[in-house]
């Protein structure tokens, strides 16, 4: 039997869009290393999303790959309205422009917005950023109907562009009515993760969980909190207590706070999530130039590598795969950068003692202590791999946070866990039957690993599991399995 080659540890998230929505394109992306597909519910119809989900499931099954689907809810996104007589208008530096809630064709002097509470949420002197911050306005005056601004940095304004109000406390919060409608579709279609946009407090996550429960579904998706507001950074510990994963959404984060503060925020979010064994995705403009070019810039490759060395479980492609000219090539390049960066991880994130990862939420948990011990023993014993028998994926996540260079095989009988673990650093999910006893689990597991080429005669594999693979929680066993 040919030995399985150790795979890349860092996971790749690819955003779906017009450039990659055919079966052939999805197949090429999976073949080039994509582990998770992000579906942006700011765009597209429910019928379109349902069709795409089916395509992803079909192609993943054909390739026999564990692939997760992440539904990204729009959240309380503010947008400009339609424009009079064309695709865009030009805003000149120093000009005055009014922004009025409503639906009318805009001009260089007056534009519409879909945000009805704009006049109550902004104050004179505040900034308004449009189109990812490319256009900057300064609020001069506010009336009951309109906000009058001066143009600080002008440019071409297109229809339906995003609006950011740095420093403002918005009157609306997630989940919105649209989010709840979209969530119902996601649960119906069996998405693996739901990403909540513009999270600022833990209550918003709890509200979304409540909406999930209202659907009455037997299984609900795991929750991803997108950190794209300074208030979310301030409330990070509370947010991490309620979420299943977190995303460093640097696009809006870089508009809501000073750009020079984003790198330190990124490192803080990743480090804090790592301590809690919560998967973390780093996103936005990672290989942005590959939307147009077949090769990335040197700065972009360094950005991806440093996000991995910071401790990201996954790195995300946005426009690169959604609208770019080279979606599969971009995914392949992301994987090559990860291949070069991962051998450097021991210098940046050596396997720590359990005390290094002490948190009130996890102190004293057997799973946490056994995962730390598994990594240390595997290193000292020269093991070929670690096998984590898991129902919920928790055991595998605790092992993954130690960034062991060994392959970690997550053996699970639960289909949802099999797919969700596609997001977690270094985890190779494998389907494994639910058994009645630990002895049966070890016996069958050993046969499975030999057949699959995970281990060969003479090898050692570290096994970590609970008393029964049919019971969630209760991880209490660590075993050196000699072949």
The residues annotated as belonging to the active site are 38, 79, 226, 284
d(CA 200, CA 232): 4
**List of residues 6+ apart from 237 with CB closer than 8 A:** 272
Please give the structure tokens belonging to residue 416. Answer: 């949802």
Closest CA to 462 of 436, 481, 476: 481
- Cα angle 447, 35, 473 (rounded to 5 degrees) comes to 55
* Cis? peptide before 175, omega within 30° of 0: yes
**List of residues 6+ apart from 435 with CB closer than 8 A:** 441, 444, 468, 469, 470
Q: Length of the chain in residues, anyone?
A: 483
User: Which residues sit opposite 137 in a β-bridge?
Assistant: 128, 151
Closest CA to 106 of 119, 118, 93, 88: 88
d(CA 388, CA 399): 8
**List of residues 6+ apart from 168 with CB closer than 8 A:** 121, 122, 126
Closest CA to 250 of 216, 214, 286: 286
Count the alpha carbons within 13 Å of 438 in the hemisphere toward its beta carbon. Answer: 12
Strand order through the sheet with 135-142: 78-79, 162-164, 127-130, 135-142, 147-153, 96-101, 110-113
Please give the structure tokens belonging to residue 149. Answer: 């601004």
d(CA 175, CA 205): 8
Q: If DSSP codes are grouped into helix, strand and coil, which group holds residue 464?
A: strand
The DSSP element (H or E) to which 320 belongs, if any, is helix 319-322
Q: If DSSP codes are grouped into helix, strand and coil, which group holds residue 68?
A: strand
Closest CA to 71 of 221, 279, 178, 216: 221
**List of residues 6+ apart from 246 with CB closer than 8 A:** 224, 225, 226, 227, 239, 240, 269, 273, 278, 279, 280, 281
- Cα angle 372, 377, 382 (rounded to 5 degrees) comes to 135
Please give the structure tokens belonging to residue 13. Answer: 């998230």
């Amino acid at each position: 039997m040919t030995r399985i080659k150790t795979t890349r540890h860092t996971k790749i998230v690819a955003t779906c869009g017009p450039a990659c929505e055919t079966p052939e394109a999805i197949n090429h992306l999976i073949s080039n290393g994509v582990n998770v597909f992000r579906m942006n519910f700011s765009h597209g119809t429910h019928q379109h999303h349902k069709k795409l989900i089916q395509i992803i499931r079909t192609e993943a099954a054909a390739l026999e790959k564990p692939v997760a689907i992440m539904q990204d809810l729009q959240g309380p996104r503010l947008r400009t309205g339609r424009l009079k007589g064309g695709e865009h208008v030009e805003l000149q530096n120093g000009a005055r422009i009014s922004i009025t809630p409503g639906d009318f064709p805009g001009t260089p002097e007056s534009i519409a917005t879909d945000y009805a509470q704009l006049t109550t949420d902004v104050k004179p002197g505040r900034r308004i950023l449009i189109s990812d911050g490319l256009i900057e306005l300064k609020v001069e005056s506010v009336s009951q109907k309109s906000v009058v601004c001066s143009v600080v940095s002008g440019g071409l304004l297109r229809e339906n562009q995003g609006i950011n109000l740095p420093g403002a406390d918005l009157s609306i919060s997630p989940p919105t009515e649209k989010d709840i409608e979209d969530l119902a579709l996601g649960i119906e279609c069996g998405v693996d993760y739901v990403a909540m946009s513009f999270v600022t407090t833990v209550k918003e996550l709890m509200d979304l969980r409540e909406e999930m429960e209202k659907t009455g579904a037997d299984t609900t998706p795991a929750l991803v909190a997108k950190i794209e507001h300074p208030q979310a950074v301030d409330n990070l510990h509370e947010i991490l207590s309620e979420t299943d994963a977190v995303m460093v959404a640097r696009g809006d984060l870089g508009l809501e706070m000073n750009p020079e503060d984003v790198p330190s925020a990124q490192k803080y979010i990743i480090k804090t999530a790592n301590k809690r064994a919560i998967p973390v995705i780093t996103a936005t403009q990672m290989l942005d130039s590959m939307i147009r070019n077949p090769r990335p810039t040197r700065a972009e490759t360094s950005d991806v590598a440093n996000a991995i060395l910071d401790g990201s479980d996954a790195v995300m492609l946005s426009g690169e795969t959604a609208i770019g000219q080279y979606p599969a090539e971009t995914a392949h390049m992301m994987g090559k950068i990860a291949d070069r960066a991962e051998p450097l991880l021991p210098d940046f994130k050596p396997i720590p003692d359990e005390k290094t990862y002490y948190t009130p939420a996890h102190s004293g948990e057997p799973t946490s202590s056994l995962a730390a011990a598994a990594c240390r023993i595997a290193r000292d014993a020269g093991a070929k791999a670690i096998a984590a028998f898991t129902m919920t994926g928790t055991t595998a996540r605790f092992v993954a946070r130690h960034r062991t260079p060994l392959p970690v095989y997550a053996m699970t009988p639960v289909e949802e866990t099999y797919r969700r673990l596609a997001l977690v650093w270094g985890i190779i999910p494998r389907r494994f039957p639910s058994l009645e006893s630990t002895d049966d689990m070890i016996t069958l597991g050993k046969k499975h690993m030999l057949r699959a080429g995970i281990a060969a005669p003479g090898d050692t594999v570290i096994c970590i599991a609970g008393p029964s693979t049919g019971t969630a929680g209760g991880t209490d066993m660590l075993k050196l399995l000699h072949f």
